[in-house]
Structure 1
Amino acid sequence: MDAPTAVGTGLAVLGSRDVLLKLLGPTADYLGNEVKTFVQKCNVNLDNVFQKAVKKLGTDIEESGTVNSRVLKHVMDEGRFCEDDLTAEYYGGILASSRSSSGRDDRGVAIIALMKGLSVYQIRFHYIAYTICRDLFRGQIRNLADHAEVENLRFYVPTRVFSHAMGFTDAEDRGAILVHNLFGLHRHDLIDNFTSGDSGYLETKGRSIPEAGVIMQPTMQGAELYLWAMGLKGASGTELLTAELPSVLEAV
């Protein structure tokens, strides 16, 4: 049997020859006998990523297209071990965004490499921050490559809002994770010009803030990751505030 027909039942995408071919195009051939291994191990994690990719594509999946084989390889490597649902959304979005008529577009490889350097905490923080940024400034025409313009997109979020949205348990050190998120995302150029602390500290930075919180601004690379995670094909990051997104995740 060829690769797609070798798939067993119980997996919504890997178990369907037609859907798998629509999603990946000829690149599906690269799955080969590995599909049997996925089925034997009940690899619901990877199938979950594929389901999210299919959902993000919507009716576009009926159009001819293929996913670059290098992108598929990295999604397979990471997706099979992806148990965090939001992280799966990101990989599914990158897979959907990588579909092109020629299969040449392999920008997803670089974006996945960036993803591999992030923890689930940082991915969730990134999603929260950019969703808030987009909601606050949607419709504004800003050049995210222009530092002066991006400074006008600097925004504040109370620490309690982030803590709630992060879904912390009592066993997790919220302060340490906040530091991990802020400095980690800044190191990867996913946020910029950030500061955090109580209202007194923020006031010393020239901000009259009623409670502890975080102030930051977006970056082009952070916007690019967000848009690819949402499934926006060909996104550069400049479209953060203006594009209609093909998928919007429910609030975390």
Structure 2
Amino acid sequence: MKHVSVIQHTQSEWLGHIEDHLEARGVRFSYIRPFVNGGKFPSPTVLGDGLILVGGGRWGALTAGHILPTLEEEVRLVRACLMLDKPVLAMGVGSQILSLAGDGQVEATPLVFRAGTATRVCEDALEGFMPATFPNIVFMRDRALPPNYAKTLAVDEDGAVAAFQIGRNAFGFSGHPGLRRAMMEDLVMELEDVPDGVADNLETLGAWNARIEDALVPIMTGLVRYTGWMT
């Protein structure tokens, strides 16, 4: 049975609907919560069959005063995964960490909460399983600028990278493809200063629940084929 390690950066944001897909395929997973255990991470050699990095709420990788406290340790961990050919799925601030680990960059941007749509720009993205369009729910500060050798899979409405691939089995998403509305409600409650448009985006997110679940089916099908989590 496969086992995947999941780094969770805030109590409110977790795998969401992705848990259902892993469990349905018999993939075990365990959460690593550095915000409650002193920022300690396991060695790359004992991570199991891959690593998932979940979004980070108010944290980013560049903006002063809001840099993820465990950023350096996580970049080193993900870089080791790339060297060891361990699968990586990185979402939100995780996509920034993946970009840095692959010698890419991060651009400073304000904290945003946006319920938007990503458009596939690569026909064979996820072996053709990535939908032509899919919900792209972004709650993130700063954003990834993947290295030049990375493969752009999808872009958002502004043309920014929404999904990318590094090497054979490392994937970054600016949004969280398995998001649940309750997670965003809890994230908003953690903040003193909330982004603009929260009420409208939460309403959209609630209306898109079925759309999010439908899009996640082919996305996870493609991801597990690349990661080997089905074998």
TM-score by length of 2: 0.23
TM-score by length of 1: 0.22
The structure in which a higher percent of residues are helix is: 1
User: Whose relative contact order is higher, 1 or 2, with alpha carbons under 8 Å and at least 6 apart?
Assistant: 2
Q: Which has the larger radius of gyration?
A: 1
